[in-house]
C-alpha cells in the first residue's frame, strides 16, 4: 500500500488533489533520499497530512 492509498483509507474526509500530489511527491522523495520543498495552499489540511505521514511511517517501521 502506498502513502496515498493509506491516507485515503484512514482519512475522515476525502483528500483534495493537491493533498494527493503532495503525499505522492513526499513518498517519492523519501524513496530517492531527497529533500522535498513543497509550498501548499493556505489552510488546506496540512496538519492532517503530517499526522497521516507520521502514522504511515510508524507502520512502515514495524
Its domain, for residue 49, covers 3-61
Percent of the chain with pLDDT over 70: 90
Other CB atoms within 10 Å distance of the CB of residue 2? 11
What span, in angstroms and rounded, lies between the C-alpha atoms of 8 and 20? 9
Residue 37 pLDDT more than 70?
yes
User: Which of the two residues, 14 and 45, has the higher pLDDT score?
Assistant: 14
Total of domains in the chain: 1
Q: What is the pTM of this model?
A: 0.72
Amino acid at each position: 500500500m502506498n502513502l496515498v492509498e493509506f491516507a485515503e483509507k484512514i482519512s475522515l474526509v476525502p483528500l483534495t488533489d493537491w493533498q494527493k500530489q503532495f503525499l505522492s511527491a513526499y513518498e517519492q522523495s523519501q524513496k530517492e533520499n531527497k529533500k522535498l520543498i513543497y509550498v501548499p495552499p493556505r489552510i488546506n489540511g496540512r496538519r492532517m497530512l503530517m499526522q497521516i505521514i507520521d502514522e504511515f511511517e510508524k507502520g512502515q517501521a514495524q
